[in-house]
A and B are shown apart, each in its own frame.
Chain A
Amino acid sequence: MNRTLTKPLTDDLIRPLFQTSIWFYAIVFAAGTVVACGAAAWGYQIWFGIGSAGIRWPVFWGFYLVNFVFWIGISHAGTLISAILRLVNAGWRRPVTRCAEAITVFALMIGAMFPIIHLGRPWLAFWLFPYPSDREIWPNFRSPLAWDFFAINTYLTGSVLFLFLPMIPDFALIRDRSTGWRKTGYGWLSFGWRGTTRQWNRLESAMQIMAVAILPVAVSVHTIVSFDFSMAAVPMWHSTIFGPYFVAGAIFSGIAALIIAMAVLRKMLGLEQYLQPLHFENLGKLLLLMSILWAYFVFAERLTVWYGNEHHEMVVFWATQRGAFAPFYWTMVICNFVIPFVILANYKTRTIAGCVIASIGVLIGMWLERFLIIIPSLAHKQLPYSWGEYAPQPVELTIMAATFAGMILLYALFSKFVPIIAIWELKAGLPSRLDPAARAEAALLATRLDTEEFSPEASSTHGEHR
């Protein structure tokens, strides 16, 4: 009963690890090529200097910081969503969590690279680290950049562990079903996991505790990223709403990235049976909710600035509303609110395709939002003599394209070596596990006959379960 239910499920989910389609090689080659171009562009920038990028006075934060904020936002897809759904014990989370947690880890790794790329002299990045140097000079712990270091590293460490721990039982499962180098490799990764009740209980306890711990960390990370801006006396940055506004935007873009990743995996790996329309519908509802929340934050922020009517803030305000940045601004509004609302508010269009279209719109819109927060404000500071322009250079565009390709590459490789759906979590959520009453009665009768001769008194307690 148990075995016949779960064996096909296991076979389905580990099949992509043992069978490789031509598409996998094509994706790895294409994405790997773009990543290599990005690495070459970074090498070019290091060799010829940061002047090869478009960042110059007064816009010192260009595409690199736009992408930094964008990717850190995307990272909120996984651990945050997974932790919330785990704590509220949402049954539909089971096929979704690992896809989401993987996005978090990869997006954080990519996002954390940008400040280093932005440094121009990446070999001096260690100046940010709190280590006791010869001259006893410590980083300035009052700097939001030092806060970034601590917050991102805490979140990255927690997210990697949050992703890795539930993979251990699945690694053990693959270990038992493979031979050669796979058996050795997955044997190491599974740490000798057997699946005793003690191990299962400890793992589930650990996941609960980590879910509780990682939620405030996730919120703090994007709040601290927002502090990079709101702690500065730059027009339209010095705002108390930036913390929650950034967190809401991060969750918003994270859900969009998750929906796209799930749709691609569903198609490429033949997981239609496990990633069902219901999962997209639920995530679509969450996306709709975040879209409305995002619109609320934008309205609250814009109305406060407009009503305050401070001259230097209004310059930036009008530059984005009807000036040079207006096309980007209104595209952002259409992508982040109009498209998701029209598609997702109607249950007939809240299909997988509808959710994916809305999510693509949201990703474009949220990237534009990061762009519009950074560039117009830096280009229009308080004194007009310091106004300037920013034009991204090929180096920045190539590195940006490489990070998107890097995400695809990392995700493709991950889904090749790790079951993209947590097998044991999916099994534990099967209806037969959740509602055993009818089956228990039949099994009770069958096994009583077998055991009566051995121990009649034992049968009196047989089938006891909670």
Chain B
Amino acid sequence: MRAVYGLYDDPHVAQQAVENLRAAGVADTDITVISSEPFDHFEFGHRDATTAMPWVAVAAGVVGLGLSYYLLGAAQRSWPLVTSGMPIVPLWSNLIIIFEMTMLSAILATVVYLFVSAGLPSRGGKMYDPEVSDGYILVGVENPQDGARLEPALAIGSGRVKTIS
């Protein structure tokens, strides 16, 4: 069995299914919850919430700041233009470009980190059911050691249990 999962039309029942899987001995990291919207008010919606993304963005911003500061100065020194009595490397006007490059670096790093940490793009072949897009919440386990044992844990409320062989 490649996967066993339940489909629920009620987030409270989905929460119960997650609890049941835990009670059945399934590790938290092995439980997959898939939905067509975030469920911030449910415990299962906060799994995997910890992320280094803000720090990555800040670090990338610092790198962008340092690089643009260096590159601007190097470019200006390599072709020294005298403009309106300003220094060859004028910090005041360079700050504008340095600021833009700092923010651009932070934004791009955030997006790259999002894609990498969220596993995107994904080629498929993973546990999924198109009924999720109708509003159902999928709770299941991929590659379970004993899938049959988990089926009762998922068969609760109006949930429907499915398996992928």
Report A's interface with B, CB cutoff 8 A.
Answer: 1-7, 10, 130, 136-138, 140-143, 146-147, 150-151, 153-154, 157-158, 161, 165, 168-169, 172-173, 175-177, 191-206, 209-210, 213-214, 216-217, 220, 224, 227, 423-424, 427-428, 433-434, 436, 439-440, 443-444, 446-447, 450-451, 454-455, 457-459, 461-466
Contact = CB atoms under 8 A, between A and B. Distances in A.
Contacts of A151: 96, 100
Nearest to A454: B152
B40 interface: yes
B101 A150 contact: yes
Those 7 A-B pairs whose CB atoms lie nearest each other, nearest first: A192-B122, A443-B12, A3-B135, A176-B133, A191-B121, A3-B9, A198-B48
Contact of A197 (B45, B103, B157): B45
Interface of B: 8-13, 15-16, 19-20, 22-24, 32-49, 51, 53-54, 57, 72, 75-76, 78-79, 81, 83-84, 86, 90, 93-94, 96-97, 99-101, 103-104, 106-108, 110-111, 113-115, 117-124, 126, 128, 130, 132-137, 152-153, 155-157
A217 B100 contact: yes
Contacts of B40: 204, 428, 433, 466
Nearest to A426: B37
Nearest to B40: A428
B75 A141 contact: yes
Nearest to B104: A154
Given A200-B45, A464-B43, A443 B120 contact: no
Given A150-B101, A158-B104, A7 B135 contact: yes
B75 A140 contact: no
A6 B103 contact: no
Contacts of B41: 433-434, 436, 465-466
15 contacts: A1-B9, A141-B94, A150-B101, A158-B104, A158-B107, A176-B133, A191-B121, A197-B47, A205-B114, A209-B54, A217-B103, A217-B107, A428-B37, A454-B152, A461-B19
A137 B107 CA distance: 29
Nearest to B48: A198
Contacts of B96: 147, 150-151, 220, 224, 227
Contact of A173 (B22, B36, B75): B36
A2 B135 contact: yes
Contact of B38 (A153, A200, A447): A200
B123 A192 contact: yes
A428 B40 CA distance: 8
A269 to B, nearest CB: 20
Nearest to A425: B37
A150 B97 contact: yes
Nearest to A444: B12
Nearest to A193: B120
Contacts of A439: 10, 12
A213 B57 contact: yes
B94 to A, nearest CB: 6
A192 B124 contact: yes
Residue of B84, B114, B115 with highest tally of chain A CB at under 10 A: B114
Contact of A447 (B12, B23, B123): B12
B36 A214 contact: no
Secondary structure class of chain A's binding surface, majority of residues: helix
Contacts of B123: 192
Nearest to A439: B12
Contacts of B46: 197, 201, 466
Contact of B104 (A157, A433, A464, A465): A157
A165 B35 contact: no
B100 A433 contact: no
Given A142-B86, A192-B123, A213-B107, A436 B133 contact: no
B134 A158 contact: no
Contacts of A213: 57, 103, 106-107, 110
Given A157-B107, A194-B128, A463-B15, A3 B156 contact: no
A397 B86 CA distance: 39
Contacts of A136: 78-79
Given A202-B114, A213-B57, A464-B43, A150 B134 contact: no
A137 B76 CA distance: 9
Contact of B79 (A138, A177, A214, A464): A138
A210 B108 CA distance: 9
A281 to B, nearest CB: 26
A230 to B, nearest CB: 13
A47 B93 CA distance: 37
Contacts of B45: 197, 200-201
Contact of A141 (B11, B34, B97): B97
Contacts of A209: 53-54, 57, 106, 110
Contacts of B135: 2-7, 10, 427
Contacts of B81: 140, 142
